[in-house]
Structure 1
Amino acid sequence: MNFMQKSLAALVVSLAAAAPALAAPVTYTVDNTHTFPRFSYSHFGYSTQLSRFDTTRGSVVFDAAAKTGSVDITIDAKSVNTGYATFNEHIQGEDFLDTAKFPTATFKSTKVIFKGDKPVKVEGNLTLKGVTKPVTLTVTSFQSMAHPMLKKPAIGANAFTVVKRSDFGAGKYAPYVGDEVRIDIALEAIAE
């Protein structure tokens, strides 16, 4: 082997070794059967009420090597589940979610912040009842691994933020019914 062939062979070997570090972003589809946005608020100071949305769709793009990502979530606001059918209708009314005019809520990320290999914050825009406001989700747990049953790459996370419902035109009965609402999301997504 001459010098040129040896150099070319060494280059090919080093590029092959570096290939895993150049991994491309992976797009994950939200698993609606394991993804539930929840919201909680003070009810006259008596208790903290907890409700959820039953239908969520969207995608997450995650690139572990580059430490980048994006999140695009759509929540069916009509799928609100308070545990009581009459109250579900009340929450969907004009004073709160107004689902007749605004059937969905969305979150679209603008930045994902990493600490080490894991995302710890996701900045983005929450649109609720036709109003868009910037919010930051704090990620409390994150997992990326092959799904043990589906045998495909999967991710999961838990995250939360706190908003004022009055900022979204849904402030009726505040301050008696708490204006601050904590939104938690338990998310699982499977590679496309």
Structure 2
Amino acid sequence: MMRRVRPARAPSRVSATVFALALACATAVAQAAPVEYRIDPGHTDVIAQWNHLGFSNPTAHFGQVDGTIVYDADKVAASSVQVTLPLSGLNSHVARFDAHLRNADFFDADVFPVATFRSTAVEDLGEDRLKVTGALTIKDITRTVVLDAVLDKAAPHPRNNRPTIGFDATANLLRSDFGLGLGAPAVSDEVQLRITTEAQAAAAD
């Protein structure tokens, strides 16, 4: 006597719906949303370096940096950075020179107390390298500056488990483009910027 073989049951609409929801959830997890990080001024430094009469290459540091970094690992072009540099944090380790940098010959810090940078485009160059194009404003003069950046690390911070990110970046600019050209070209017009920064996501509610 032959046994009858029952045909396979078609998946129910309920099962199909559950599967679709599970797939959507898995996709959402795989494509993480952009994260906004707050710059940590205690672990951020912007260093300007120039040549002095061919004899030396002094530096000045811009501390007390404030700003945010939005980073999207899945879509790097959606990332952005916004930074404020208070000139009160400028430090060349020479007090008399710091006073000169803040007066009207250079930054005129009483009138223009901060410099700002706001990105306009972020390009993924591969291998954790980024090209960050943005608008740098000093003394109400805005010029386009390109940062060559490297993602140092993105991971939970070992002290508080918050998402944390770190970058190093470099850029070259002409100080005369920002009304800071006193002494050029004997003192080099070109200035190299070196930036290192660490930023943390806000604490979860």
Matches of 1:32 and 1:51 in 2, distance apart?
Answer: 16
Question: What does residue 43 of structure 2 align with?
Answer: 34
Deviation at 1:95, TM superposition (A): 1.3
Deviation at 1:119, TM superposition (A): 4.8
Matches of 2:181 and 2:46 in 1, distance apart?
Answer: 20
Question: What does residue 146 of structure 1 align with?
Answer: 156
Question: What does residue 139 of structure 2 align with?
Answer: 129
Deviation at 1:134, TM superposition (A): 0.4
Among residues 183, 186, 193, which one is paired with 1:183 in the alignment?
193
Residue deviations 1:103-147 (CA, integer Å, cap 9, x gap) = 000000001111347351100000012110001000134321111
Matched, 1:108 2:118: yes
TM-score by length of 2: 0.89
CA contact (8 A) 1:64 1:117 kept: no
Among residues 162, 167, 176, which one is paired with 2:177 in the alignment?
167
Q: Which consecutive residues of structure 2, in runs of 5 or more, have no partner in the other structure?
A: 1-9
Question: What does residue 45 of structure 1 align with?
Answer: 54
Residue deviations 1:128-167 (CA, integer Å, cap 9, x gap) = 1211000100013432111111210001000011110011
Matches of 1:129 and 1:177 in 2, distance apart?
Answer: 20
Question: What does residue 14 of structure 1 align with?
Answer: 23
Superposed counterparts of 1:89-104, under 5 Å: 89-104=99-114
Question: What does residue 168 of structure 2 align with?
Answer: 158
The structure that has the greater radius of gyration is: 2
CA contact (8 A) 1:155 1:190 kept: yes
- Secondary structure in 1 matching 2:30: helix
Matches of 2:131 and 2:183 in 1, distance apart?
Answer: 31
Amino acid at match of 2:162: K
Amino acid at match of 2:198: E
Number of matched pairs: 192
State the superposition RMSD in angstroms: 1.5
- Secondary structure in 1 matching 2:123: strand
CA contact (8 A) 1:40 1:49 kept: yes
CA contact (8 A) 2:133 2:145 kept: yes
Q: Which consecutive residues of structure 1, in runs of 5 or more, have no partner in the other structure?
A: none
Aligned-residue sequence identity (percent) comes to 36
Q: 4+ residue stretches of structure 1 with deviation over 6 A?
A: none
CA contact (8 A) 1:141 1:158 kept: yes
Amino acid at match of 1:82: S
